[in-house]
């Protein structure tokens, strides 16, 4: 039967009824995936933790765009906030909108239709990769679900005076328990959102926050320990968080098509910064000055000049070298996770150690950290190698309790000034 609907009307009806794509997971999409160190290639991937592929929302979490976030220490609303919700409200000046990914359907595979959709989809894929890694290491999915990522927000940190929005960074922002990917400006390499290693690094911060600090928006050790001058314990926790995140990020790259890449920062950061963060160098070692600074500086000073990255790189180096030399990467991954929190009396994790030192943050030392890590390693040879690496690279004060008797510090590192 011939249709009685005139052609223009049919077009209008079609256009009005045009709905966004809504395939069931796994959703086949194209993303920019590293096929070699720094070599991005459009690659078909499957997103499994997404329910709305346009808004990029699902069990994994939600992506928001166009938010306005300001952390203003002089803001009375911030100062008077006593709950997580109140703090989040003080920071969030504009909630933002769900992102609106634009696709072109090619035979059931969704191709991103613009740069930001490529970026968003690739970021989502990167976070799914990190999620799967952590699941493999032993973190239940429910613990990782529901993340929030602010994509290209207007983000400011100030103490009352007007400041320009921050640029060129991606981080896990504990006060909101959210990831933040800022617009790029001076960084003109591979955007941070497209760097799976960077996303895995930030994802690891979230796991650390949940396991060690119980998901606190303002972790108590970082708030209460730094009172008055030196804050060795808080500095060490920040450094450990960075070092562990680098190690886990490297581990996540091992799951990708390009294989393990400890220099995952290279495509995105300036060469000097990436070089300083290269934990795969065999001669990476903690200098006396670095240790002195960590133990003597206030958190603000130590954090502000990148101290956590300096010390963290050495911690990551010890983990990396032990994993490479023993070929027991997964054992060390699991041990690091277990060191976050472990209620077994003989193997207390960082969470338990923090509780045990109470308000005496200065009691938390590199040796305490090494002991917490080594206690989680079952395999004796692996524990010995890890002990050797930690002992030699972190310049521990002698053999720590959980080092096997045959341990000896590695001596192939040199002090980086």
Partner 1 sequence: MSTARTLAALPLVALLAALPAVADEGDGAIPYPEDEQDAPAPARPARRRVVEDDLRQSVEEDEERSRPMAPLDDPALGLAGEVLGGIMLLDSSRGALDAQPAFGLRFTWELGRTLEDALLHEALFLDVGWLWSRQWAGTSAVFGDSSLHAFTLAPAFGFSLGGERSPVVAFLQLGGGLAYQATRISYEGGATDVSGVKPLLQYGGGLRGRPLINENGLRLSFRVELTRYRRHYMDDTFLGAGLGLDY
Residues 63-92 that bind partner 1 (CB under 8 A): 64-66
Interface segment toward partner 1; rule CB under 8 A; list 98-106, 293-301, 318-326, 341-349: 98-106
State the minimum distance, in angstroms, from the CB of residue 15 to partner 1. 3
- Helix or strand or coil: residue 342? coil
| Interacting residue with partner 1 among 112, 126, 175, 307 (CB under 8 A) | 112
Q: Which backbone phi and psi does 235 adopt, to 5 degrees?
A: -60, -40
Interface segment toward partner 1; rule CB under 8 A; list 105-113, 155-163, 209-217, 291-299: 105-113
Binding mask 136-155 for partner 1 (x = CB under 8 A): ---------------xx---
Interface with partner 1, residue 117, by CB under 8 A: yes
| Interacting residue with partner 1 among 1, 3, 19, 107 (CB under 8 A) | 19
Interface with partner 1, residue 159, by CB under 8 A: no
| Interacting residue with partner 1 among 29, 32, 91, 350 (CB under 8 A) | 32
Produce one character per residue of 385-417: b if its CB has 16 or more CB atoms within 10 Å, e if not.
bbbbbbbbbbbbeebbebbbeebebbeebeebe
**Which phi-psi region, left, alpha or beta, contains residue 398 (left: φ > 0; alpha: ψ -120 to 50)?**
left
Produce one character per residue of 109-124: b if its CB has 16 or more CB atoms within 10 Å, e if not.
bbbbeeebbbbbbbbb
Instruction: Give the count of beta carbons closer than 10 Å to the beta carbon of residue 288.
Output: 9
Please give the Cα distance from 252 to 330 (Å, whole number): 11
Interface with partner 1, residue 20, by CB under 8 A: yes
User: In this structure, are strands 61-65 and 97-98 parallel, antiparallel, or unpaired?
Assistant: antiparallel
Torsion 314-320-326-332 (CA) sign: positive
| Interacting residue with partner 1 among 219, 226, 267, 392 (CB under 8 A) | 267
Residue placing its CB nearer to partner 1 in the complex, 190 or 293 = 190
Interface with partner 1, residue 332, by CB under 8 A: no
Six-digit token string for 353: 């150690």
Please give the Cα distance from 315 to 334 (Å, whole number): 16
| Interacting residue with partner 1 among 133, 155, 184, 302 (CB under 8 A) | 184
Interface with partner 1, residue 28, by CB under 8 A: no
| Interacting residue with partner 1 among 57, 81, 99, 336 (CB under 8 A) | 99
Q: Tell me the site size for partner 1, rule CB under 8 A.
A: 48
Interface with partner 1, residue 114, by CB under 8 A: yes
| Interacting residue with partner 1 among 23, 37, 42, 215 (CB under 8 A) | 42
The partner residues of 31 in beta bridges, in order of sequence, read: 43
Torsion 304-170-354-364 (CA) sign: negative
Give me the residues that bind partner 1 (CB under 8 A), please: 8, 11-12, 14-16, 18-20, 32, 38-42, 54, 64-66, 96-102, 104-106, 111-118, 120, 151-152, 184, 187-191, 194, 267
């Amino acid at each position: 039967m011939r249709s009685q609907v005139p052609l223009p009307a049919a077009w209008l009806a079609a256009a009005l009824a045009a709905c966004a794509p809504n395939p069931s997971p796994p959703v086949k999409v194209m993303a920019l995936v590293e096929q070699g160190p720094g070599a991005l290639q459009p690659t078909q991937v499957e997103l499994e933790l997404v329910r709305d592929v346009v808004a990029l929302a699902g069990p994994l979490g939600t992506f928001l765009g166009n938010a306005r976030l300001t952390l203003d220490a002089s803001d009375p609303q911030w100062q008077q906030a006593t709950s997580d919700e109140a703090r989040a409200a003080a920071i969030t000046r504009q909630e933002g909108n769900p992102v609106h990914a634009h696709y072109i359907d090619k035979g059931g595979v969704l191709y991103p239709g613009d740069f930001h959709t490529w970026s968003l989809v690739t970021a989502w894929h990167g976070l799914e990769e990190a999620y799967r890694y952590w699941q493999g290491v032993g973190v239940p999915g429910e613990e990782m679900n529901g993340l929030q990522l602010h994509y290209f927000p207007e983000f400011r940190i100030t103490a009352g005076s007007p400041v320009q929005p921050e640029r060129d960074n991606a981080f896990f922002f504990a006060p909101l328990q959210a990831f933040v990917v800022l617009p790029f400006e001076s960084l003109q390499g591979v955007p941070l959102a497209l760097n799976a290693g960077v996303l895995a690094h930030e994802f690891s911060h979230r796991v650390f926050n949940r396991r060690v600090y119980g998901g606190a928006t303002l972790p108590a050790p970082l708030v209460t320990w730094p009172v008055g001058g030196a804050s060795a314990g808080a500095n060490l926790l920040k450094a450990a968080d960075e070092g562990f995140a680098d190690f886990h990020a490297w581990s996540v790259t091992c799951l990708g098509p390009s294989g393990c890449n400890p220099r995952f920062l290279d495509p995105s950061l300036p060469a000097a910064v990436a070089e300083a963060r290269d934990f795969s160098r065999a001669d990476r070692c903690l200098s006396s000055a670095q240790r002195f600074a960590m133990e003597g500086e206030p958190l603000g000073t130590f954090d502000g000049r990148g101290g956590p990255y300096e010390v963290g790189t050495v911690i990551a180096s010890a983990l990396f070298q032990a994993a490479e030399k023993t070929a027991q990467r997964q054992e060390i991954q699991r041990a690091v996770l277990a060191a976050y929190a472990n209620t077994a009396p003989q193997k207390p994790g960082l969470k338990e150690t923090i509780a045990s030192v109470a308000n005496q943050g200065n009691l938390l030392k590199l040796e305490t950290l090494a002991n917490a890590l080594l206690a989680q390693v079952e395999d004796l040879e692996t524990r010995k190698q890890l002990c050797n690496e930690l002992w030699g690279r972190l310049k521990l004060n002698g053999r720590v309790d959980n080092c096997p008797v045959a341990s000896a510090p590695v001596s192939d590192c040199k002090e980086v000034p």
